[in-house]
Amino acid sequence: MDQDEQLLHASSFGAAAAAYAEHRPDYAQAAVRWALEPAPGPRVLDLGAGTGKLTAGLVALGAEVVAVEPDPAMLAELRRSLPDVRALRGNAEAIPLPDGSVDAVLAGNAMHWFDMAAAGPEIARVLAPGGVLAGLWNVVDDRVAWVAGLARVGGSAAIGPRDTPAAWRAETAGMHLPGTGGAARFGSPEQAEFVHGQRRTADSLVAALATRAGVLVMPERERESLLGRIRAFLANEPETAGGEFTLPMQTGVLRVHRL
C-alpha cells in the first residue's frame, strides 16, 4: 500500500464512527492485562483510541487513562461513551503530552497506521523509564471452517493481512521499528494471543465488516456487492444462519519495552 492509499484508508473511519462504536469488538481482558503487566505504573495512553473500544477496557482494569485520537468524529464518540476519560485530539506522530508522562502506550487496531519513523521517538518521549509500548489486534480465528470460508468470500478488503492469527504475527513483529533504517528505540518484541469472541448475528457481522477500511473506501456499488456476497454466505452456513452465534476471535498483542 503506497502512502496516499495508506492515508485514504486511515482517514476513512470518521464517516462510519457511530457504526464503528456499535459493531467493533472490545479486546480480551487477559490480553490487556498482559500488555500492561510490565508497566512501571498505572498511567496509560490509548494512542489512536478511535471510539474507545480499548479505552473502556483500560478503565475497567483501573488504569489512569488518557486517550488520543486524530479523527474528530471518532473522538466525539469516545467522549460521548466515556465522558470521564481525558480525551485529546492528536496523533502518534505528535502526541499532546509531556515527556515521561505515561507508563504504557497501548494502541488497539491502530499501530499499523503509525509512521514509526516519527511516532517511535514521540512514543519513547512520553514513556517513563521502563515504560511499555503494546499494540493489540483483534483477529478472526480462520482455523474454524466457516470463518475460513468467510475470509475467502470477503477477500482482503473485509479480512485483511493482519486479521487472522498466523498473518498478524508476521505482519506486526517489526511494527515497533522505524521503516526507513532509523535507530530502534524499543527492545525485542514479545507476541502473545488470547482467546476472544463476540456475539453476533449475520446482520451485525456484516455491519461490523462494513466498518473495515478496505470496505469503506470502495465505490458504493462494489461495496454493496461485496456485502451482499458475505450476507449470502452467512445465510447458507449452519453456524450463522439461525440467529445469534459467537464469532471465534483472538486478541493478539505485540509488547516491547522502551530502551
The residues near 111 (Cβ < 8 Å, ≥ 6 apart) are 48, 135, 172, 175, 176, 254
**Is pLDDT above 50 for 147?**
yes
pTM (whole model) above 0.75: yes
**Cell 486478541 belongs to residue:** 251
Banded model confidence at residue 201, pLDDT cuts 50, 70, 90: very high
Determine the pLDDT at residue 14: 52
- Contacts of 83-88 spanning 24+ positions with Cβ under 8 A: 85/52, 85/55, 85/59, 87/49, 87/52, 87/55
Kindly report the length of the chain: 259
Answer yes or no: is pLDDT of 9 > 60. Answer: no
Q: How confident is the model at residue 213 (pLDDT cuts 50, 70, 90)?
A: confident
pLDDT of residue 13: 53
Per-residue pLDDT at 231 exceeds 90: yes
Give the pLDDT confidence of 92-102 residue by residue, as tens digits: 999 999 999 99
Q: State how far the alpha carbon of 143 is from the alpha carbons of 147, 194, 229, 248, 249, in Å.
A: 7, 15, 21, 9, 10
Alpha-carbon gap, residue 107 to 111, rounded angstroms: 6
CB 138 within 8 A of CB 162: no
Range with lowest mean pLDDT among 42-56, 95-109, 183-197: 183-197
| Confidence at residue 181, expressed as pLDDT on a 0 to 100 scale | 64
pLDDT in tens, 14-31: 567 898 899 999 999 999
Encoded amino acid at 30, one letter: A
N-to-C CA span, the chain: 30
**Mean pLDDT of the chain, nearest integer:** 92
Three cell numbers, residue 68: 488520543
**What is the reported pLDDT for 15?**
64
Query: Which of the pair, 217 or 69, is modelled with greater confidence?
Result: 69
Render pLDDT for 57-69 as a digit per residue (tens, 0 to 9): 999 999 999 999 9
**Residue written as cell 448475528?**
201
Q: How far apart are CA 90 and CA 86, in angstroms?
A: 13
Percentage of the chain exceeding pLDDT 90: 86
Nearest to 101 by CA among 127, 136, 82, 68: 127
CB burial of residue 203 (10 Å; 0-12, 13-18, 19+): exposed
pLDDT band at 180 (very low <50, low <70, confident <90, very high): low
Mean pLDDT, residues 106-125: 95
Q: Tell whether the model's pLDDT for residue 3 goes beyond 90.
A: no
